[in-house]
Amino acid sequence: MKRRSATTMIRSLAGILLLIPVMFCEQNEVCAQVLSASEQALTKEKVLNLYVRINAPLDSVWERVSTEKGFHKFFAPSCKLEPKTLGFMEVLFAPGAPEGQRGAENNRVLAIQPKQMISFTWDAPPQWPEIRKNRTVVSLRLYKTSDRETLLTLSQAGWGVGPEWEAVFNYFEKAWGGFVLPNLKYSLEVKPVDWREFPKYAPKELKPAERF
């Protein structure tokens, strides 16, 4: 009898909880309102979206973008990566420069799903010191299109508003699209990037990544 009463009470409580949002929306017209076209434009999140098709198996691409050893083959001369949630991450384009001038410093991995996605924080270049104090979020996603081809997308979000933020957005559109992602593709289809006397031995005239 006690068990039956407890079960009945739980079911009744569940029913009440389900009714609460319905009752709230019926009494508040705001629940039925949709954003106007101007409001949708006003609140639209600014995101940098790029993609690149790589002639390499998904496993190979995943190893390249989710390990410290893989990072070094396409990203920068010096890299640190702990491939776990809140793991430490740095990508140093000028390892010998003073702290704060070396590249992407003191960042963190935010999420990682093996062979699917890795996301991490990212800071602006030193020439924008105020923006550099903040962080954007970069997500890399992998999709198997065939046994020998992988589609990789990059999305960068968390942008602020203003001329400096716009300048940083434009910078990264060129940096990711014209340097990092083409180097990633090159490192898997041709050979790892040679960082000796960079940029003397850097790959030349690579096709940039595409926007989507």
Write the pLDDT tens digit of every residue in 107-131.
999 999 999 999 999 999 999 999 9
Cβ–Cβ under 8 Å, residues 208 and 182: yes
pLDDT at 98: 96
pLDDT of residue 32: 66
pLDDT at site 156: 98
Residue 164 token pair: 């400096």
The percent of residues in the chain predicted with pLDDT above 70, rounded, is: 85
What pLDDT score was predicted for residue 120? 98
Listed as ranges, residues in the chain with pLDDT below 70 are: 1-32
Amino acid 41: pLDDT: 80
Pairing of strands 88-92, 78-81: antiparallel
The pLDDT value given to residue 39: 83
Superfamily in which the 45-211 domain is placed by CATH: START domain (3.30.530.20)
Q: Give residue limits of the domains in the chain.
A: 1-33, 45-211
pLDDT of residue 107: 98
**What pLDDT sits at residue 38?**
86
